[in-house]
Structure 1
Amino acid sequence: MPENLPGPESPSVSQETDASLRARRGSRKKRSRWIAGGAAAALVLAAGTALPLVLNNDDEPPPADAAAVETVETPDAPSPLPPAPEFVYYNQAGPPEGSPLNPVDPLTVSVDGTGIGTQLREGLVGLSLEATDLADPQLSGDNPEMVQTLSGLGKPLLRFGGNAVDRRFFWTSSGEPLPGNLKGDKAHPVRAVTPADLERVAALLDAVDGTINLTVDLGHYDPARAADMAAHAARIFGERLVGITVGNEPNGYPNNGLRDAGWTSEDYLTELKAYAQAIHEASPGVKIVGPGVYSQSWWEPFAKAELPQEKIFSFHHYPLSSCDGTKDPTGEPILANLMSQNIHDHSAYYRGEALKPANAAGLETWITEAGVSACPGSNETTKTHASSLWAADYALGGAKQGITRMSFHSSLITCTGGPPMSAICTGGAYLQPNGQVDERANFFGLSMVAEMPPGDFHETTEDGGGLSHSYAVRHEDGSLSVIIINANNPETDAQMEVTLELPGRPLTAAMTQMTGPSYSSEDGTLIDGQRAEPAPVAERLTLPGFEYGSTTQQFALTAGTVTVLNFQLQP
Structure 2
Amino acid sequence: MAAGTAAVLLAAGGISIPLLLDDSAAAPAPVPAEPETTAVAETPLPPEPVFTYYNQIGPPEGSPLTAVEPLALTVGTQKTGTSLTDGLVGLSLEATDLADPAMSGENPEMVQSLTGLGKPLLRFGGNAVDRRFFWTSAGEPVPSNLTGDKAHPVRAVTPADLERVNTLLLAVDGSINLTVDLGHYDPARAADMAAHASRIFGDRLAGITVGNEPNGYASNGLRDSKWTVDDYLTELKAYAQAIYAAAPEVKIIGPGVYEQSWWAPFASVDLPQEKIFSFHHYPLSSCDGAKDPGGAPVLANLMSQNIHDHADRYRGAALEPASAAGLETWITETGVSACPGSNETTKTHASALWAADYAISGAQLGISRLSFHSSLITCKGGPPMSAICTGGEYLQPNGAVDERANYYGLSMIAEMQPGEFLAVEETGGGLSHAYAVRHADGSVSVVLVNANNPETDAQLSVSLKLPGRPLTAAMSQLTGSSYASEDSTLIDGQLTEAVPVSERLTLPGFAYGSETQDFVLTAGTVTVLNFTFQE
Distance 1:294 1:471 in 2: 27
Distance 2:271 2:495 in 1: 45
- AA paired with 2:329? T
Alignment of 1:125 with 2:101, yes or no, is no
Alignment of 1:428 with 2:392, yes or no, is yes
Distance 1:394 1:410 in 2: 16
The one of 253, 261, 265 equivalent to 2:229 is 265
* Residue equivalent to 1:15: none
Distance 1:343 1:68 in 2: 64
Which SS does the other structure have where 2:114 is aligned?
helix
Distance 1:94 1:108 in 2: 21
Q: TM-score, normalised by structure 2?
A: 0.94
What's the CA shift for 1:366? Answer: 0.1
Alignment of 1:566 with 2:530, yes or no, is yes
Alignment of 1:176 with 2:113, yes or no, is no
What's the CA shift for 1:67? Answer: 9.8
* Residue equivalent to 1:317: 281
Distance 1:268 1:201 in 2: 30
Which SS does the other structure have where 1:88 is aligned?
coil
> Which sections of structure 1, spanning at least 5 residues, go unmatched?
1-65
The one of 417, 439, 453 equivalent to 1:475 is 439
* Residue equivalent to 1:327: 291
Q: How does 1:234-273 map to 2 (within 5 A)?
A: 234-273=198-237
Which SS does the other structure have where 2:74 is aligned?
strand
* Residue equivalent to 1:208: 172
Alignment of 1:218 with 2:201, yes or no, is no
> Which sections of structure 2, spanning at least 5 residues, go unmatched?
1-29
Over residues 282-317 of structure 1, what are the superposed CA-to-partner deviations in whole Å (9 max), with x where a residue is unaligned?
Answer: 000000000000000000000000000000000000
Distance 1:129 1:374 in 2: 14
Alignment of 1:550 with 2:501, yes or no, is no
Q: How does 1:71-82 map to 2 (within 5 A)?
A: 71-73=35-37, 76-82=40-46
Alignment of 1:297 with 2:282, yes or no, is no
Over residues 402-434 of structure 1, what are the superposed CA-to-partner deviations in whole Å (9 max), with x where a residue is unaligned?
Answer: 000000000000000000000000000000000
Q: Highest Rg: 1 or 2?
A: 2
The one of 95, 100, 117 equivalent to 1:136 is 100
What's the CA shift for 1:535? Answer: 1.6
Q: TM-score, normalised by structure 1?
A: 0.88
Distance 1:73 1:255 in 2: 76
Distance 1:215 1:74 in 2: 66
Moved more, 389-398 or 72-81: 72-81
Distance 1:76 1:450 in 2: 41
The one of 379, 402, 425 equivalent to 2:343 is 379
Over residues 383-412 of structure 1, what are the superposed CA-to-partner deviations in whole Å (9 max), with x where a residue is unaligned?
Answer: 000000000000011000100000000000
- AA paired with 1:379? N
- AA paired with 2:48? A
Distance 2:221 2:147 in 1: 13
Distance 2:534 2:290 in 1: 55
Alignment of 1:115 with 2:82, yes or no, is no
What's the CA shift for 1:77? Answer: 3.2
Over residues 140-182 of structure 1, what are the superposed CA-to-partner deviations in whole Å (9 max), with x where a residue is unaligned?
Answer: 1000000000000000000000000000000000111010000
What's the CA shift for 1:78? Answer: 2.2
How much identity, in percent, do the aligned residues show? 76
- AA paired with 1:263? W
- AA paired with 1:189? P
What's the CA shift for 1:474? Answer: 0.2
- AA paired with 1:568? T
Which SS does the other structure have where 1:488 is aligned?
coil
* Residue equivalent to 1:445: 409
* Residue equivalent to 2:154: 190
Which SS does the other structure have where 1:270 is aligned?
helix
* Residue equivalent to 1:308: 272
Over residues 365-393 of structure 1, what are the superposed CA-to-partner deviations in whole Å (9 max), with x where a residue is unaligned?
Answer: 00000000000110000000000000000
What's the CA shift for 1:543? Answer: 0.3
* Residue equivalent to 1:58: none
Which SS does the other structure have where 1:349 is aligned?
helix
Over residues 337-358 of structure 1, what are the superposed CA-to-partner deviations in whole Å (9 max), with x where a residue is unaligned?
Answer: 0000000000000000000000
What's the CA shift for 1:531? Answer: 1.1
* Residue equivalent to 2:472: 508
What's the CA shift for 1:72? Answer: 4.2
CA RMSD of aligned residues (A): 1.0
* Residue equivalent to 2:499: 535
Distance 1:75 1:525 in 2: 52
Which SS does the other structure have where 2:317 is aligned?
helix
